[in-house]
């Protein structure tokens, strides 16, 4: 498995607009990408403008398919001005 952890810092005035777009992106990814097995959208009550994603794919190629998808490109374009910072980390499973 291939795990992706994304952390967004959302601009304070953009959170309410960002979250429905984020949830839609997660749901479409799960529904339309057979190699996307998990797509969790998480928030920390103590850091209300921080959003963490935990995504699980079959392999790195499946994540590349996600990045090339129309729904991901649309999400990126729609939210670009809402995001103050973003980090992406990837992990591969070494043992089960």
Q: Are 90 and 63 in contact (CB under 8 A)?
A: yes
Whole-prediction pTM value? Answer: 0.92
What would the two tokens of residue 29 be? 């990814």
Q: Are strands 2-10 and 47-57 parallel, antiparallel or unpaired?
A: antiparallel
- Domains assigned to the chain: 2-92 (3.30.70.100)
Q: How much is the pLDDT for 93?
A: 85
Q: Give residue 95's pLDDT.
A: 78
The low-confidence residues of the chain, meaning pLDDT below 70, are none
Query: For the chain, what is the mean pLDDT?
Result: 96
Q: What is the pLDDT of residue 48?
A: 85
pLDDT value, residue 88:
98
């Amino acid at each position: 498995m291939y795990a992706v952890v994304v952390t967004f810092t959302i601009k304070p005035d953009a959170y309410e607009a960002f979250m429905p777009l984020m949830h839609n992106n997660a749901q479409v990814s799960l529904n339309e990408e057979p190699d996307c097995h998990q797509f969790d959208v998480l928030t920390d009550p103590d850091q209300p403008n921080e959003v963490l994603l935990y995504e699980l794919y079959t392999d790195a190629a499946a994540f590349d398919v996600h990045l090339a998808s129309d729904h991901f490109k649309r999400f990126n374009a729609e939210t670009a001005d809402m995001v103050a910072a973003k980090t992406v980390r990837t992990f591969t499973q070494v043992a089960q």
